[in-house]
Structure 1
Amino acid sequence: MKHGIYYAYWEEEWAADYRRYVEKVARLGFDVLEIGSAPLPEYSRQEIQELKKCADDNGIMLTAGYGPTYNHNVGSSDSKIREEAQDWYKRLFEVLAELDIHLIGGALYSYWPVDFADADKPEDWKRSVEGIRRLAASAKQYDINLGMEVLNRFESHILNTAEEGVQFVEEVGMDNVKVMLDTFHMNIEEVSMGAAIRRAGKLLGHFHTGECNRMVPGKGRIPWREIGDALRDIEYDGTVVMEPFVRMGGQVGADIKVWRDISRGADEARLDEDARRAVEFQRYMLEWK
């Protein structure tokens, strides 16, 4: 397994200098930094080269995450939006390839956060399957896997359980489209964490971790031993990226709905130490080889 963390753990705004976090996570004992995709298509050649060199120099693998905007919804009922989304992702894939990023995960089948007033699950599902099938063909040219993140009912209406994730991926029928599970969302929706992981089985392509309270692993009540046993049973040896959100303020706090200081006033040094301990804990609980 390769263990990582999402850069926004330290941020109040989505915009960030990812190089700073590459260096930080390398010092803290991580293998992977997950970065946000939104700004990447606008990166200059120099920015791409500098980020790639920084990751290489620090021995850090990069993965990408994305909560698509309304205009990047490949399953939209508006054909113009669907085409705009496909075009945008094609530009993104070119940059991901230059950064040697081979995995992007999130609600790529829809947009985030969803306006449920217009939700029509059967029709949205159908268009999303078609949209992801097209998207996967574009991504395959660059050896990029797409992680279909299963979200809780308050953030999406399309994929809420591992069972639905598997059904969706099987309907798409492309070998670079994978199920992506997240312990925060699983805690809300799944009857059994272990059973959900086993249901995903060989289709599991990316795994997000975090406590039920959005703190780093080890500071809540998620059943980590059960999760580790299930990952061992399916012989999962991919990326495991923690996605904690503990700070109020800014667009990150507003979008993630952090309405109290979960960090309890932690400064950056404290956040760093919590992350360092969390990756040690995660390796201990989840590694099976």
Structure 2
Amino acid sequence: MVIRMMKYGIYFAYWEQEWGVDQKQYIEKVKKLGFDVLEISCAMLKNISTEELHEIRKRAEDAGVILTAGYGPAAGENLASSDPEVVKNAIAFYTDILKKLEILNIHTLGGGIYSYWPVDYTKPVDKAGDWARSVENVRKVGKIAGECGVDYCLEVLNRFEGYLLNTCGECKNFVEEVGVDAVKIMLDTFHMNIEEDSIVEAILLAGKRLGHFHVGENNRRLPGKGGFPWYEIGMALRAIGYEKNVVMEPFVRSGGGVGSDIKVWRDLSRGASMAQLDEDAANSVDYLRYVFGGPNSDGRSVLR
């Protein structure tokens, strides 16, 4: 019998204040810190050569690191748009990205990849119309994702960042309406804390449709540095038989494009040096392995 276990990762932007950086540099770093997975942004894949894609794949394989991808689509990449030209551009964009993910041996793409991010609330919101258009277009893109071996994971976002899918229940209905196996639910504890009546119940509701799981504290810091019930969250993941990736998405540094987009208006790292950020991340992944691992966990420590 093959025993599969959750793999643990972190998003590159934990260390960064700008999006457009060399993300390859984090492949070896995350491995040394005890992670299995590095999540990159699709933004780096827009203008990249096939040669570089192969170089990144080899670098990750040599390091024994799994790559996943995340993305917050621009308004011009909105699959829910009422503008046919925007939809045409969005489908072309995702087709290109998914083929690049296949070359990279990336099997998970997550984010608000059914709409755009962050939403401009100065414009009218047509949730019903956008829902119908997004279902139709996600169905098209989801089929391409399936052909590329990629799980197309729709992230449930809080009301301040998106309006189409705010709860797991909404996302489950949407995914069932799309009806494509590669299209799955993505949950994030930060967003769930704002929108869900119960984080545990939302995970149980997602069940086998849960394709990707992001973790971060209520304050967007690393797991173990806030107030979430991580033991209970781990129990819920085990209850649904979740065996995929658990990726930390902490944002702790203010300033720059990352700080502005994520709305980090104070230094949540509390003046941490890069070495301290590294130590905090290593401690956090140890902690998460321990609390998510259950009674037979081989977690190496608890958070220091």
Identify the TM-score tier after normalising by the shorter chain.
Answer: over 0.9
Q: Does 1:278 align with 2:281?
A: no
SS of residue paired to 1:118: coil
Instruction: Output aligned runs, 1:222-233, within 5 Å.
Output: 222-233=228-239
List structure 1 segments (4+ residues) > 6 angstroms apart after TM superposition: none
SS of residue paired to 1:178: strand
Query: 95, 99, 104: which one pairs with 2:100?
Result: 95
Q: CA offset at residue 120 of structure 1?
A: 1.0
Counterpart residue number, 1:111: 116
Contact residue 2 and residue 32 of structure 1 kept, 8 A = yes
Query: 190, 193, 208: which one pairs with 2:199?
Result: 193
Q: Deviations over 1:204-226 (max 9, x none)?
A: 01000000000000000011111
Instruction: Output aligned runs, 1:248-259, within 5 Å.
Output: 248-259=254-265
Q: CA offset at residue 63 of structure 1?
A: 0.3
Instruction: Output aligned runs, 1:260-275, within 5 Å.
Output: 260-275=266-281
SS of residue paired to 2:43: coil
Q: C-alpha distance in 2, partners of 1:269/1:143?
A: 36
Query: 55, 58, 66: which one pairs with 1:53?
Result: 58
Query: 62, 69, 77: which one pairs with 2:67?
Result: 62
Q: C-alpha distance in 2, partners of 1:87/1:66?
A: 15
Query: 172, 178, 183: which one pairs with 1:177?
Result: 183
Counterpart residue number, 2:89: 84
Q: C-alpha distance in 1, partners of 2:237/2:146?
A: 26
Question: What fraction of aligned residue pairs are identical, expressed as a percent?
Answer: 56
- CA RMSD of the aligned region, Å? 0.9
Q: Deviations over 1:136-161 (max 9, x none)?
A: 11111111110100000000001111
Contact residue 130 and residue 172 of structure 1 kept, 8 A = yes
Instruction: Output aligned runs, 1:9-28, within 5 Å.
Output: 9-28=14-33
Q: Deviations over 1:258-289 (max 9, x none)?
A: 00000011111000000000101111111246
Q: C-alpha distance in 2, partners of 1:104/1:249?
A: 27
Q: Does 1:239 align with 2:245?
A: yes
Q: C-alpha distance in 1, partners of 2:52/2:20?
A: 14
* Paired positions, count: 289
Q: C-alpha distance in 2, partners of 1:95/1:50?
A: 12
Q: Does 1:6 align with 2:11?
A: yes
Query: 144, 148, 158: which one pairs with 2:154?
Result: 148
Q: C-alpha distance in 2, partners of 1:130/1:223?
A: 37
Unaligned stretches of 5+ residues in structure 2? 1-5, 297-304
Contact residue 18 and residue 51 of structure 1 kept, 8 A = no
Counterpart residue number, 2:133: 127
TM-score between the two structures when normalised by the length of structure 1: 0.98
Q: Does 1:44 align with 2:49?
A: yes
Q: C-alpha distance in 1, partners of 2:49/2:176?
A: 37
Q: CA offset at residue 93 of structure 1?
A: 1.1
Contact residue 41 and residue 95 of structure 1 kept, 8 A = no
Q: CA offset at residue 46 of structure 1?
A: 2.7
Counterpart residue number, 2:218: 212
SS of residue paired to 1:39: helix
SS of residue paired to 2:180: coil
Q: CA offset at residue 41 of structure 1?
A: 3.0
Counterpart residue identity of residue 150, structure 1: V
The worse-fitting range, judged by mean Cα deviation, of 41-50 and 151-160 is 41-50
Counterpart residue identity of residue 202, structure 2: A
Q: Deviations over 1:68-119 (max 9, x none)?
A: 0001101101010001000011111111111000110000000000112221
Q: C-alpha distance in 1, partners of 2:136/2:50?
A: 32
Counterpart residue identity of residue 23, structure 2: Y
Q: Deviations over 1:228-278 (max 9, x none)?
A: 111111111110000000001110000000000000111110000000001
